[in-house]
Every structure is written in structure tokens, then in C-alpha cells.
Amino acid sequence: MPPSGKKMIVAGNWKMHTDAQSAAALAEQVAGRSAQEAGQVQVVLAPPFPFLAEAVRRARAADQENGRQCVIIAAQNCHEEEQGAYTGEVGVPMLRSIGVGACIVGHSERRQYYAETDAAVGRKVERLLQHGLMPIYCCGEGREDREAGRHREVVALQLRTALGAIPGHGLAKVVVAYEPVWAIGTGLTATPAQAQEMHAFIRAELRALAGEAATHIPILYGGSCKPDNAAGIFACPDINGGLIGGASLAAEPFMELVRMARHAQSPA
Ligand code: 13P
């Protein structure tokens, strides 16, 4: 895929941060500024569950004011079943009913602390597709796997297990985020060369699963991505933007990353 004109997405994962006031204010600021600054870059915000509905309201207000969709509001997780006796869980129809348009699934923190498996994550992807929400599927190897040279194998197994049963037309609606676990919240980031190599590998794996339908699947990089290291990463041909943790918790530097993605899309 040529770097010029490639699809770019910048998604903010707020994790377990913000409160009602700061979440609403941040959603409003980012939505309003995205209308002016994002160009063709798709901006996605993933606040904690309690603040989703208000974030959707603020985003919709910005849409109305600007006559275009400014940001997509995403959840950080969902349950794979439609509904039922799952105390404490949140179903996809619930998210859809409040205007949430996307959902992160399989984040390494959920795999690590809540024992999420790729089989379960795959069912979440299917449920999201069934309801027309955009799944943001996370994969990535841990430090030991990277050091042992097993990073390709590990990520290939994640992709095949979670996405292998999804038909090509469904897979074409998925966004993949490559987040090497050793780079998340550590200040260590993959070099552009390391990230590009894995993104090209992931693209080839997706093509093996779903054929040509997979060619245009956006693949985001995540892991200590910040304005001071994003330019080289966003410029790589197989990198379609970023899934941003720490640097998404304030309007700047997040909007700086959005502008950098815009520049990477059309570097002229
Ligand atoms: P950081 O940008 O804080 O490293 O987090 C990355 C991440 O996990 C996004 O989902």
C-alpha cells in the first residue's frame, strides 16, 4: 500500500483514567478540534464505560455544528454474548443503543489481568460485526517472546485463533492494532523498522486468512506512541495510525498525533 493517501486512524484508549467532568471535557475538545484538524484521518476515542454516553453526546454536538462526523466513540471491551446473566459485563447491543460505534477487544491488559483468550476475543469480534460496530482487535507479543525471536509465531497464532473463522467480508471491517506488550506504558517503543516489519507480516497473515478483502484492513501501532516518536512510525507504508494510551489523556498531545497522521497520509 503506498504511503500517500493510505487510510489513517488515531484512536485514544483512555483505559481506567478520567472522571465524569474530565472525560466530557476531553471528548468535547477532541471532537471540536478534529473537525478542523483531522482532515481525512479517522479519530476514535475510547473512554471508560460510565462516560461513554456523555462522550457520544459531546461528539454528536460537534458533528451537528460541523456538518460531518468528527470522532467515533469506542468502548474498551464488550461481552461476547448478546445478553444474559453475566454480572458486571456490558453487551454489544447496549453499546449500540447509546451510539457507540466501535470497540477495542483483546487488549493485552485484558489478556494479562482477566485471562482473555483469543477464542473469546474472536467471538467478541463476531458479535461486534453482527451489530455493525467496528472491532479494534489488539495483538502483540510479550518481551520474552520478542527476545526469543518468537514474535511472528505468537502474533500469527493470535490472529489465526481470533480471526480465522471470520469470513472475508467481515474481516474487511476489522481494525487491527499491533501492540507489543513490552512497549505499552513502558516508554520503550518499537523502532519504525520493527513496527513496519510486524505490520507487513500481519498484513500477509490477514491476506492468507481472508484473501484480497484483507488488503485494506487498517493496522494501527500501539505502545508508547507519542509526538516525539510518531513521525517515523506513521510514515511506514503498512502502518495506518496509532492506538494511543498515555498521550491520549490530554487534547494536546493527542491532536498533535492526529495532525502527524494527517501529514503521513498526504506528506506534500
Ligand atoms: P501507551 O501509549 O500508554 O503505551 O498505551 C498503549 C496502549 O496500550 C493503547 O491501547
Q: Which domain holds residue 113?
A: 82-246
> Crossing angle, helix 151-163 and helix 192-210, to 10 degrees?
40
Give the residue numbers marked as catalytic: 107, 179
Sequence-separated (6 or more) residues with CB below 8 Å from residue 48: 14, 15, 16, 17, 18, 23, 76
Contacts of residue 76, defined as CB under 8 A and 6 or more positions apart, other chains included, come to 13, 14, 15, 46, 48, 49, 103, 104, 107
CA of 2 to the centre of ligand 1 (A): 26
In a domain, 23, yes or no: no
Closest Cα to atom 2 of ligand 1 = 245
Q: Does ligand 1 come within 6 angstroms of the Cβ of 136?
A: no
> Does residue 130 sit within a domain?
yes
Please compute the mean of the pLDDT values over residues 189-217 and round it to a whole number.
94
Write out pLDDT tens, residues 67-120. Answer: 999 899 999 999 999 999 999 999 999 999 999 999 999 999 999 999 999 999
Atom index in ligand 1 nearest the CA of residue 243 equals 9
Report if residue 66 sits inside a domain: no
224 lines ligand 1 (CB under 6 A): yes
Average pLDDT value over all residues in the chain: 95
**Does 12 contact ligand 1 (Cβ within 6 A)?**
no
C-alpha 223 – ligand 1 centre gap (Å): 5
Q: What integer is the mean pLDDT of 254-267?
A: 95
**pLDDT single digits (tens) 53-79:** 999 999 999 999 999 998 999 999 999
Residues, the chain: 268
Q: What distance in angstroms lies between residue 187's CA and the mean position of ligand 1's atoms?
A: 10
Nearest atom (ligand 1) to Cα of 224: 4
Question: Nearest C-alpha to atom 9 of ligand 1 is from which residue?
Answer: 245
CB 5 near ligand 1, within 6 Å: no
State if residue 225 touches ligand 1 by the CB under 6 angstroms criterion: yes
Say which residue, 5 or 201, is predicted with more confidence: 201
Strand partners, 177: 138, 220
Q: In this structure, what DSSP letter does residue 64 have?
A: H
In a domain, 26, yes or no: no
CA of 252 to the centre of ligand 1 (A): 16
Cα gap 100→177, rounded to integer Å = 19
Domain count, the chain: 1
**In the structure, what pLDDT confidence band is assigned to residue 35 with cuts at 50, 70 and 90?**
very high
In a domain, 8, yes or no: no
Q: Could you tell me what percent of the chain has a pLDDT over 90? A: 92
Ligand 1 pocket member 74 (CB < 6 A)? no
CATH code for position 240: 3.20.20.70
**Cα of 225 from ligand 1 centre, angstroms:** 7
- 242 in a structural domain: yes
Q: Which ligand 1 atom sits closest to the C-alpha of 226? A: 2
Q: What pLDDT does 267 receive?
A: 76
Top-ranked range on mean pLDDT: pick from 50-54, 189-193, 263-267 = 50-54
Q: What is the mean pLDDT of residues 4-17?
A: 92
Whether 178 maps to a domain, the answer reads: yes
For ligand 1, pick from 45, 221, 244, 257 the residue to mutate: most ligand atoms within 8 Å of CB: 244
| Domain assignment present for 67 | no
C-beta separation of 62 from 88 below 8 A: no
What's the pLDDT score for residue 1?
43
Smallest CA-to-CA distance from 262 within 243, 238, 244, 235 is with: 235
Distance CA 248, CA 30 (A): 10
State mean pLDDT over 195-207: 97
| pLDDT(268) > 80 | no
User: Residue 136: which residues within 8 A CB-CB, separation 6 or more?
Assistant: 11, 44, 74, 102, 103, 104, 105, 175, 176, 177, 220, 243
